[in-house]
Each structure stands twice: as structure tokens, then as C-alpha cells.
């Protein structure tokens, strides 16, 4: 007999908070958790399945930006203190795409290995720019076909959907969120396009508006609230130089 557990997904965020308050302070609550079927709830399975199937479209938009990317128009106007900072037109998109597609290929291999149908001795597909769209479509089709299994029986299916965990649903939501924020024509467009965050690899680095150095050089901070990495302008410049060397681009 399978044991039913409370879904580890974001559907139970409020319930988990209430349970902590109950355990720590004896605060009673009347929240009932969403139960897994048997591990994750139907809502989380279907939401992550939709996010999974939206990935090809979102990633093509990121890919187009990698090919045709140009500095944000507003960057010329900001000039001044950071005029010497390397611009990241297409490179941010490229690194982001490589990292997401690489992780997708690993999840696909992981699921097929756990199900015993991964061809022995083969490696997950390495993302290459040629054939990237087909690779993404193939991985998504494969994961979609195994999604019900992955959400209930993957070894990490009971893990919370937090960054760094291997829960398939959490991973897909993470890629979806990053790709959507990257391509969305929201306030991200108004800030200078900076390199991806060295800590969480999300495209969230911005010049801080609150924290200022004495000589008026802005700090660079990660806008992802889960990450919150802060760099000085000098640290950022060093990091970008290293990145440029790593991917063979002249700064």
C-alpha cells in the first residue's frame, strides 16, 4: 500500500508555514494540505506539465535573443560610472540557454535511467546551437510522456520545489520562471542588461538603486529574492572578464 503525503509543491506553502507556527508556538490553524496522488497533487502535476510544454516556445525566444541580441537601448543613456563594463547583448541569453537545456537533458536522462529505459553507456545530449530547437522539442516530448511517473515516483519527487532540489516539477517551474522573466517585456527591459548571476545563474543582476558606494559606483545585486547575491562594481568587472574568456568572446 502506498502512503499518501502532503504535496511538497508550492500549493502547500501556507500549510507548511502554519505547521511551523504550530510546532514552534502552538499556533492552531485550520488549513488542510493538498494531498499527493500519492506524492504530488493533481494541481502541481498539471501546472508543471503546462510549464513544461510551454518551454520550447519560451526557449526559442531566448535563443532569438542569443542570436540577434543587442544591448538594451537605455544602456547608452546610463553611461557614466559603468561605461567600462562589458556589454552582454547575446551572451547572457546564450549562457542561460546552455545551462537550461543542459539541465533539461540531465532530467530526461535521469527519468529514463530511473525507469530502466536509458540506453546503457550513453550520455545525455550536449546542447549545441545547431539542432537546439529539435533537441529541446525532443526532451520536452520525452519528459511529457513520462510526466505522471516523474511527478510521483522520481527519487526526488518528495523534495520541496526549492532551488537546488531535484524535484522534476520544481526544476521545470524554475526553468519556466527564468525563461519567462528573461523574455517578458517588463521592467527588465528598462535596466541595463547585465551578465547572469554568478550564484543562481538567473538573468537577474541589476545595478542597485538602494545601495551606493562612497564613490557613487553602484553595487550590482541579484534581484532574485531567493539568491540576493551582491557584487561590487570591481567584482562584477572581474567576473565578466572571466566569463568572456571562458566563452571566447572579446570584451
Instruction: List residues binding Zn ion (CB under 5 A).
Output: 7, 9, 11, 34, 41, 44, 197, 199-200, 222, 224, 227, 229
Shortest gap between Cβ of 39 and Zn ion (angstroms)? Answer: 9
Q: By C-beta, is 7 or 178 nearer to Zn ion?
A: 7
Beta carbon of residue 133, minimum distance to Zn ion (angstroms, whole number): 27
For the sheet with 230-231, list strands across it: 205-212, 218-222, 230-231
HSE-CB of 66 using CA atoms within 13 angstroms:
18
**Residue 127 Cβ vs Zn ion, minimum distance, rounded to whole Å:** 22
Phi/psi of residue 8, each to 5°?
A: -80, 0
Give the C-alpha separation, 171 to 162, whole Å. Answer: 8
Report in angstroms how near the CB of residue 228 gets to Zn ion at its nearest: 7
Nearer Cβ to Zn ion (7/109): 7
Toward Zn ion, which CB reaches closer, 10 or 69? 10
- Least Cβ distance, residue 163 to Zn ion (angstroms): 9
Nearest CB to Zn ion, comparing residues 111 and 178: 178
* Inter-residue contact 90 to 69 (CB < 8 Å): yes
Report CA torsion sign: 94, 99, 101, 102: positive
Shortest separation between residue 40's beta carbon and Zn ion, angstroms:
5
Exposed / middle / buried, residue 222 (Cβ in 10 Å: 0-12, 13-18, 19+) = buried
User: In angstroms, rounded to a whole number, what is the distance separating the alpha carbons of residues 127 and 97?
Assistant: 9
Q: Looking at beta carbons only, is 6 or 139 nearer to Zn ion?
A: 6
Alpha helices of the chain — where are they, by DSSP H? 13-25, 42-68, 75-78, 90-114, 132-145, 147-153, 168-183, 233-246
Closer CB to Zn ion, 34 or 60, in the complex: 34
Amino acid at each position: 500500500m502506498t502512503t499518501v503525503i502532503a504535496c511538497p509543491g508550492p500549493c502547500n506553502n501556507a500549510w507548511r508555514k502554519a505547521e511551523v507556527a504550530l510546532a514552534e508556538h502552538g499556533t492552531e490553524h485550520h488549513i488542510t494540505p493538498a494531498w499527493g496522488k500519492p506524492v504530488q497533487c493533481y494541481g502541481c502535476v498539471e501546472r508543471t506539465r503546462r510549464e513544461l510544454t510551454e518551454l520550447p516556445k519560451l526557449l526559442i525566444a531566448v535563443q532569438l535573443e542569443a542570436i540577434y541580441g543587442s544591448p538594451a537601448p537605455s544602456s547608452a543613456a546610463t553611461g557614466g560610472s559603468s561605461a567600462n563594463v562589458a556589454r552582454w547583448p547575446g551572451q547572457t541569453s546564450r549562457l542561460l540557454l546552455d545551462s537550461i537545456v543542459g539541465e533539461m537533458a540531465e532530467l530526461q536522462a535521469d527519468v529514463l535511467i530511473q525507469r530502466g529505459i536509458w540506453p546503457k553507456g550513453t550520455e545525455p545530449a550536449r546542447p549545441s546551437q545547431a539542432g537546439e530547437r529539435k533537441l529541446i522539442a525532443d526532451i520536452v516530448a520525452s519528459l511529457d510522456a513520462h510526466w505522471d511517473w516523474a511527478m510521483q515516483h522520481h527519487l526526488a519527487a518528495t523534495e520541496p520545489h526549492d532551488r537546488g532540489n531535484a524535484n522534476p516539477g520544481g526544476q521545470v517551474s524554475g526553468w519556466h520562471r527564468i525563461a519567462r522573466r528573461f523574455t517578458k517585456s517588463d521592467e527588465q527591459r528598462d535596466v541595463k542588461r547585465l551578465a547572469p548571476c554568478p550564484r543562481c545563474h538567473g538573468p537577474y543582476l541589476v545595478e542597485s538603486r538602494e545601495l551606493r558606494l562612497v564613490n557613487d559606483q553602484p553595487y550590482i545585486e541579484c534581484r532574485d529574492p531567493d539568491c540576493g547575491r551582491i557584487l561590487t562594481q570591481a567584482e562584477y568587472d572581474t567576473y565578466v572578464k572571466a566569463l568572456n574568456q571562458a566563452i571566447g568572446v572579446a570584451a
